[in-house]
Amino acid sequence: MPATCVPLGSPGARSPLRALVPLGPGPAVPQTRSAPRPVKAPLPEPDDVTLVAALARGDAEALRVIFDRHAGAMLGLARRVLGDDGEAQDIVQEVLTRLWVEPDRYDACRGRLRSFLYRETHSRAIERLRSLRARRLREASPRARWAEVVPDDLEEEVVGSLRSETVRRALLGLSPDERTVIICAYYGGLTYRETATRLGLPEGTVKSRIRSGLRRLADALAAGGLDT
């Protein structure tokens, strides 16, 4: 159930209007009355394939469902990468608009819709970041260049943004070296070669730390019940 919809009578619903958005039955109009409608059991929430098929038919409600499900994570990802709220919102808007225009780009055989949307978001955010970064680097002194590239508190911010204790434990369970290279590359928008330069490490070391770190992360998440 979406966060904006609190069932009447629940602790969060102090008055009927706190429970927006469902509309009431309308005013009691002294006109013709129809028999009460039978209460239907709610249908299951639509899955990715159903949603994208509906999107392809131009069903805008499907886009709203996708927005409700994924916009928060997409926005969080773009914010961590770009460090700018306005830019991050632009990215989310672009990704969802493109999905609306070209729903066929999502192939359910290649993974879940959220995975597709996160990749699109990350890819566009990185592209934007690299463009902004190139401009900043041209203007920065050589000594300040790498300090400009990745904020020092990025790792702290990423860990602090995690709302799932299982995920937080899994990430903190990595060695600091593994965690640093993963966050630096993914949220800092660096290639592994750039990460190696940034951290003063051999490329092979960064490559293997990313690989071992991600595998250990996947193992820890699976152990915490968040398997594929």
Determine which residue in the list 6, 192, 198, 199 makes contact with another protein, applying CB under 8 A. Answer: 192
Provide the minimum distance between the beta carbon of 134 and another protein in the complex, in angstroms, as a whole number.
Answer: 15
Count the residues of the shown chain that bind another protein, applying the rule CB under 8 A: 103
Binding status of residue 54 toward another protein by CB under 8 A: yes
Binding status of residue 24 toward another protein by CB under 8 A: yes
Provide the minimum distance between the beta carbon of 141 and another protein in the complex, in angstroms, as a whole number.
Answer: 26
Determine which residue in the list 49, 164, 172, 223 makes contact with another protein, applying CB under 8 A. Answer: 164
Per CB under 8 A, which of residues 68..107 are in contact with another protein? 68, 71-73, 75-77, 79-80, 89, 92-94, 96-97, 100-102
> Which of 14, 135 has the CB closer to another protein?
14
Binding status of residue 2 toward another protein by CB under 8 A: yes
Binding status of residue 225 toward another protein by CB under 8 A: no
Provide the minimum distance between the beta carbon of 65 and another protein in the complex, in angstroms, as a whole number.
Answer: 5
Per CB under 8 A, which of residues 123..142 are in contact with another protein? 123, 126
Binding status of residue 176 toward another protein by CB under 8 A: no
Determine which residue in the list 114, 137, 146, 151 makes contact with another protein, applying CB under 8 A. Answer: 114
**What residues contact 174, with CB distance under 8 A and at least 6 apart?**
182, 213, 216, 217
Determine which residue in the list 12, 45, 105, 136 makes contact with another protein, applying CB under 8 A. Answer: 45
Q: What angle do CA 82, 178, 140 make, to 5 degrees?
A: 40
Alpha-carbon dihedral sign for residues 122, 123, 128, 131: positive
